Structure 1
Amino acid sequence: MNSVINFTKANLETLPTPASARVEYQDGKTPGLKIRVTPNNVKTFCVLKRIKGGSPLRTTLGRFPDMSIEQARRQAAVILAEIAEGGNPSEVKRAIKGEFSFADLFDLYLKRHAKVHKKTSKSDEQRYQQYLEKPLGKKKLSAITKDEITTLHSKITSDGHPTVANRVLALLSSVFNRGIEWSITQTNPCEKIRRNKEISRDRFLQSDELTRFFEALNLEPNATIRDYIWLSLLTGARRTNVLSMQWSEINLAEGTWRIPMTKNGTPQNVPLSPPAIELLKNRRQIIDEEVAFVFPSIGVTGHLVEPRKGWERLLCEAGLTNLRIHDLRRTMGSWQAKTGASLSIIGKSLNHKSTQTTAIYARLDIDPVRDSMNTATDAMLKAGGVKKK
């Protein structure tokens, strides 16, 4: 049986040298962390843990005193957690050899936290690639300072993206907090960095803009992009839900689209207006039966992912500025309000989550929501010259 001792520098330095066979000692603070002492007085940290359904697995960490006790405990904690989740500790050891870089920690954050607990893990990954990978990816965690993160936040802000700057800062803080939780790092350099004041966005397509918008949309050469934008407007659904829309979720006979999971963590029934149904019927005729997605793509996801170029092309053709795809969702809600819909109906149609109106939403069926969306759709099409008044 291994002797259990409290791993301190003094205790490890004074461990006796065995006469023949090597001896192991168990850390009293971190279960599974051991130190082996050879007859040559070489002291090596290792982790010994039985894998579920298998034999004990030993992972060598490094030699004392080149590796500190705190470094050994941090690496042991990560490896033990990986084993508990059924992972390969050898891969983790390679990733944490020496001190973690920010890229190493972000990779663990995605795998163990974001992809398991968040519906926005893809957004986290995109923000990392766009804003964090180049300036911070290769840096050791201890080398990342508060001043450096403040400068990064200020640069994104000065580039005209104050809200994005706040989201990137929030992502950074979350990654470092997970690192502290997993004993990989001890501090969060994002603490007490002042966020930008955010102003609620209220942009939507006005009456005088709709004609140009619809004319440019009908001229869009890419049918997939064109139909995606049309459905985004006609359903008022969130961008990610429209992009990943599947035929199995649509009931054309009843005129409904059942979104199995939304940003709010709940399913949603979206009523389809006659123009939306007609568009979907036309797409169904040109897409092979075995294709699952309404907007298929040859990419990894199997569906359209980033329509940015098509959107920019549309705005240029229409002569519109400061308009985002998400503003189409707000446009539907705004035109519902213009045509007399109540806030409860608008909230139900857009799947807004509010503690004050949850009880009201629960009593609403889909018919008044459908009527409101149809009325708003008619009003938009008439204002844009697509439908006769």
Structure 2
Amino acid sequence: MTTRSLNFTKAALDTLPAAQPGTRDTYHDSKTSGLLLRVTETGVKTFSVYRWLKGDSKPQRTTLGRYPQMTIERARTAAAQVNAVVEVGGNPADERKAKRAQGVTLRDAFKDFLAARKNLSPRTIYDYQRLMGFHSEEDRTDARRSKHKPRRSAESFKDWLDKPVVSITKDMVEKRHAKMGETSQAQANYAMRVLRTVLNFAAAKYDNSKGEPLLAENPVKRLSQTRAWYRVERRRTVLRSSDLKPWFAAVLALPNKRDDGSRTVVNAKPDDVRDYLLFLILTGARRTEAARLRWDQVDLDARTFTFPETKNKRPHTLPLSDYLYALLKERKTVVDGDYVFPGTGKGGYLVETRRQTEKVAKESGVPFTLHDLRRTFITIAESLDIPAYALKQLLNHKTGSDVTAGYIVMDVERLREPMQKVTDFVLRAAELRPSAAVASLIQREGHGRET
């Protein structure tokens, strides 16, 4: 192994031999303090700086680059910069880390954020990606090919993805929030909450040269400081008791569509949507959790069903009322596949219901959203004086700081009577007998309705 001082010139470095097998030769530049050239047994030549740092027990090596890709002049300039940092008590490694952090883009931060958040649901990830304009070209192609009108895009930060996060200013945030609010104030608030979360993550993950957070202050804070958040009232729309009769009539009248081989069914079958809507209003289930319900999560013997992955990360088992038991038992005989409510999308479960829900709204005169059905279930359950703890369990709501609730173990059978009460009320309001057989209530071919 060779170690000696050398005036670094092109002629001198070009003629340096490879090191002996199993060793590396080191050459010190006679003109620049700390600048080294290391030569391996394969002849690879690499510039580095070797300096003692204040307070450290051993010197630190800073790799600069390979020769001849890095010229001698560039190596001496880089070494001088490292020396300047060391002379003032700095750490070149920290400086490099800070420099990399300064170049972290919103795209980089968002990728790292998703990688770190292992507990985000697929739906949440999809919404965040859609918001950031982060979907793959394959996803975009699928959306263009779809015959359905896609959900209004919320790609609020697509043009910011390649900007360093340190370049996103309070003024930019304020202007973008106001611009987005011209289309949807609720969406503007949601987008900024997501951006705030990603930037908080960036502030925690990336440091400057002093080990301080890359962002001294989250620029989204401007919206709180100036009270610019939009005041968006929580939706309170529900189906009233008087709405249930025409709504049920319109839902039960959705025509069957069987794929008999003579044509291809592109969209979700209306009978799948029909039963899905009935399931939502009679269970209060969240729409995505219900759509993803699999047959292996339904126990017809025990008359229960389970959502293993829920919004609050806890499995949720509920009883089936008599009406829903008969409905699912009948579906089991005619539905193929793993999902109770199958769909033609990539996931295999029901996703697109817009055409059928718009038809129900038009025929019944009752405008509604899928989440309105959950609110309707909650409102009816509360009106029936169902105990608060039982209602929370039916809805799988967190009990928060309620210490008493933490001691209550609510068995699924304790929820059977409350669940049946809601079903009985809804069917009476719809002028359907609570004990009526599903087969007669939603005849698959005749579409009749027993009164």
TM-score, structure 2 as length reference: 0.63
Match runs of 1:66-77 below 5 Å:
72-74=96-98
Paired residues, what number? 330
Query: Residue in 2 aligned with 1:110?
Result: 114
Identity %: 27
Whether 2:237 is the aligned partner of 1:203: answer: yes
Deviations 1:317-371 (A, max 9, x none): 33334x3212211211211222231222211211111132753772432334211
Distance 1:207 1:104, change over 3 A: same
Q: Pick the aligned partner of 1:123 from 99, 117, 127.
A: 127
Q: Give the drift of 1:251.
A: 0.6
Name the counterpart of 1:94. none
Distance 2:272 2:99 in 1: 48
Match of 1:181 among 204, 209, 229: 204
Query: Given the alignment of the two structures, is residue 384 of structure 1 paired with residue 413 of structure 2, yes or no?
Result: no
Pair 1:344 & 2:344 matched: no
The superposition leaves residues 174-203 of structure 1 with CA deviations (integer Å, 9 ceiling, x where unpaired) of 111222222275353212313333544432
Residues 179-230 of structure 1 show CA distances to partners (whole Å, capped at 9, x for unaligned) of 2222275353212313333544432210121122212222334222222221
Counterpart residue identity of residue 237, structure 1? A
Q: Which residue among 99, 103, 127 is the counterpart of 2:103?
A: 99
Cα distance change of structure 1 residues 316 and 157 upon mapping to structure 2, 3 Å threshold = farther
CA distance in 2, matches of 1:309, 1:70: 57
Higher Cα Rg, which structure:
2
Stretch moving more, 204-213 or 101-110 = 101-110
- C-alpha contact 2:107 2:162 (8 A) present in aligned 1: yes
Is the 8 Å Cα contact of residues 102 and 136 (structure 1) preserved in structure 2?
A: yes
In structure 2, the gaps of 5 or more residues are 1-30, 40-45, 55-59, 77-81, 85-91, 134-153, 208-213, 256-269, 434-449
Distance of 2:309 and 2:116 partners within structure 1: 21
Change (3 A) 1:102 1:220: farther
Note closer, same or farther for the CA distance 1:365–1:196 as it changes in structure 2 (3 Å cut).
same
How far residue 158 of structure 1 moved from its aligned partner, in angstroms, is: 3.8
Contact 1:17 1:40 in 2 (8 A): no
Q: CA deviation at 1:69?
A: 7.9
| 1:96-149 CA distance string (max 9 Å, x none) | xx9344334323322333xx1323333322333423244433444344332232
1:300 matches 2:346: yes
The amino acid across from 1:170 in the alignment is: R
More helix by share: 1
* Aligned match of 1:324: 369
Which 5+ residue runs of structure 1 have no aligned equivalent?
1-12, 45-62, 78-97
Distance 1:15 1:386 in 2: 92
The 3-state SS of whatever aligns with 2:155 is helix
- The TM-score, its normalising length taken from structure 1, stands at 0.72
CA contact (8 A) 1:344 1:357 kept: no
Query: What SS does the aligned partner of 1:42 have?
Result: helix
Q: Where do residues 155-304 of structure 1 align in structure 2 (5 Å cutoff)? A: 155-162=179-186, 164-183=187-206, 185-186=214-215, 188-194=218-224, 195-221=229-255, 222-288=270-336, 291-304=337-350
**Distance between the aligned counterparts of 2:299 and 2:410, measured in 1?**
20
